[in-house]
Amino acid sequence: MKRILFVDDESKILDGIRRLLYTERNRWDMQFAIGGEAALQACEAGSFDVVISDMRMPGMDGATLLGHIRDRYPNTARIILSGYSEAALATRAVPVAHRFLAKPCSASSLQSTIEQVCTLQELLCAPEIRRAVGSIGELPSLSSTYLSLAQAVRDPESSISHVAEIIEDDVAMSAKVLQLVNSAFFGLAQKVTSLPGAATYLGMEVIKNLALASEAFRIFVPGSRIPQSFCESMQKHAQCTAAIAGALPLEPKTREIAVVAALLHDIGRLVLASAMPDQFCAVRALVAERKCKLYEAEEELLGTSHAEIGAYLLGLWGISSLAVEAIAHHHRPTRVPHSDLDCTVAVYLANLLAIELEAHPEGTKGLEIEESDRACLETLGVLSRMDEFRELARQSYS
Ligand SMILES: [Fe+2]
Ligand SMILES: [Fe+2]
């Protein structure tokens, strides 16, 4: 049975939730704590799969409580409940909460959110990897991008589209902005899948809060083990892959999601670099020694790859499930069935074309395709179109 803890400073609200979820009592072991201190005591008695906490509480508020839970029980999924009028307050919880729910919350959105995070917990079976991903609040951004964003949000003259362009340059910031805008907190009926759309919806004030007041964005500090060049080349590869995904002949809605998924497709590498540096270095060493593919080395050493790790984190953060699926399978797209050029195929292709162009910026027409990729492209039914795609990629790559 999944163990779920609800935290609020008002017992009336907890009683309401208990009544709302009465039908789930045989599936979920639900506990209720009045206030942060009582919640931590309950966790000490036995850890939980999910903690759902109110934001505004006297003494220890929701963000502080979830921060403690992240540090002590990283396996636990963390959800914050907050009122619509408290947008600025909720940004304080961005670094520590996986999901945001708006108050008052319906039984169905409570149920589906709890169910989604529980299902995701089963996706990554290795507990140490789940713990590492769960412990992450923020991922590293390049300091130059962070400085331009901080400057832009302080400048009364700058436009929201300019701010969106800066955020789009950075994988970690893009993921955080999409997490926040897609939270039930903003009550949108449909997921927002484009960065400009997300920035416009959140507005300058919230982004300013995210950038300056909360600790949602962390600057990458190059160490001796993980060099600055890794972070820079990762960001560049992400942008190149996103540009190529945008140039592929896709349905408009598929294109919008594919561009975001392409931008975030290797976010699992940032997760490994920042939360599991030992394993990250061991993987790099194995790739150098064997000249094998990165995901193959990861699968051998970790039992999973950056593709699943990134998908798990973004799934916890509530990013569109089509994007999450495309990211999970971007190296092994034939594991799932496809309909023509769907999001997953698009991200797989865009990544392949980006890697080719990075190695051969002078042009890739007629270039030999590796055997494993050839078999995959054939199964996906797109092998004969490679030259067409290569030309589109070349045009988008500058
Ligand atoms: Fe990858
Ligand atoms: Fe990639």
pLDDT reading at 155 higher than 80: yes
Express each pLDDT in 321-373 by its tens digit.
Answer: 888 889 999 999 988 888 789 999 999 999 999 999 999 888 777 788 988 89
User: CA-to-CA distance for 263 and 168, rounded, in angstroms?
Assistant: 8
- pLDDT in the model for residue 398: 65
Strand 218-219, strand 140-141: pairing: parallel
pLDDT reading at 158 higher than 80: yes
- Of 24-28, 116-120, 199-203, the range with the lowest mean pLDDT is 116-120
CA of 171 to the centre of ligand 1 (A): 13
Residues 222-236: what's their mean pLDDT? 80
| Residue with more model confidence, 220 or 21 | 21
Share of the chain above pLDDT 70, in %: 94
- Helix 306-316 and helix 107-123, axial crossing angle in degrees, nearest 10: 160
Is-contact 206 87, C-beta < 8 A? yes
Share of the chain above pLDDT 90, in %: 45
CA of 305 to the centre of ligand 2 (A): 12
CA of 351 to the centre of ligand 2 (A): 5
Q: What is the mean pLDDT of the chain?
A: 87
User: CA-to-CA distance for 194 and 200, rounded, in angstroms?
Assistant: 10
Express each pLDDT in 301-327 by its tens digit.
Answer: 988 899 989 888 888 888 888 888 899
pLDDT reading at 84 higher than 80: no
pLDDT reading at 185 higher than 80: no
- pLDDT in the model for residue 125: 62
| Nearest by Cα to 320 from 248, 244, 234, 256 | 256
Amino acid at 138: E
pLDDT reading at 197 higher than 80: yes
User: CA-to-CA distance for 378 and 117, rounded, in angstroms?
Assistant: 35
| Token pair of 386 as six digits | 């490679």
CA of 303 to the centre of ligand 1 (A): 15
Split at pLDDT 50, 70, 90, the class of 143 is confident
pLDDT reading at 285 higher than 90: yes
- pLDDT in the model for residue 163: 92
| Nearest by Cα to 159 from 194, 191, 207, 193 | 207
- pLDDT in the model for residue 184: 64
Split at pLDDT 50, 70, 90, the class of 21 is very high
pLDDT reading at 186 higher than 70: no
Among all bound ligands, the one having the nearest atom to the CA of 237 is: 2
| Residue with more model confidence, 362 or 215 | 362
CA of 353 to the centre of ligand 2 (A): 10
Identity of the highest mean pLDDT range in 82-86, 235-239, 361-365: 235-239
pLDDT reading at 215 higher than 90: no
CA of 87 to the centre of ligand 2 (A): 34
Task: Kindly report whether the global pTM for this prediction surpasses the value 0.75.
Answer: yes
Residues with CB under 5 A from ligand 2 (ion): 266, 351
HEC-encoded secondary structure of the chain: CEEEEEEECCHHHHHHHHHHCHHHCCCEEEEEEECHHHHHHHHHHCCCCEEEEECCCCCCCHHHHHHHHHHHCCCCEEEEEEEHHHHHHHHCCCCCCCEEEEECCCHHHHHHHHHHHHHHHHHCCCHHHHHHHHCCCCCEECHHHHHHHHHHHHCCCCCHHHHHHHHHCCHHHHHHHHHHHCCHHHCCCCCCCCHHHHHHHHHHHHHHHHHHHCCCCEECCCCCCCCHHHHHHHHHHHHHHHHHHHHCCCCHHHHHHHHHHHHHCCHHHHHHHHHCHHHHHHHHHHHHHHCCCHHHHHHHHHCCCHHHHHHHHHHHCCCCHHHHHHHHCCCCHHHCCCCCCCHHHHHHHHHHHHHHHHHCCCCCCCCCCCHHHHHHHHHHCCHHHHHHHHHHHHHHCC
- pLDDT in the model for residue 85: 63
Express each pLDDT in 87-118 by its tens digit.
Answer: 667 777 888 888 888 888 888 888 988 988 88
Residues 135-161: what's their mean pLDDT? 85
CA of 109 to the centre of ligand 2 (A): 34
CA of 153 to the centre of ligand 2 (A): 30
CA of 327 to the centre of ligand 2 (A): 10
- pLDDT in the model for residue 222: 66
- pLDDT in the model for residue 87: 66
Split at pLDDT 50, 70, 90, the class of 290 is very high
Express each pLDDT in 240-283 by its tens digit.
Answer: 999 999 999 999 989 989 998 999 999 999 888 888 889 999 99
Residues 81-90: what's their mean pLDDT? 71
User: CA-to-CA distance for 220 and 218, rounded, in angstroms?
Assistant: 6
- pLDDT in the model for residue 53: 95
- Of 36-50, 55-69, 137-151, 367-381, the range with the lowest mean pLDDT is 137-151
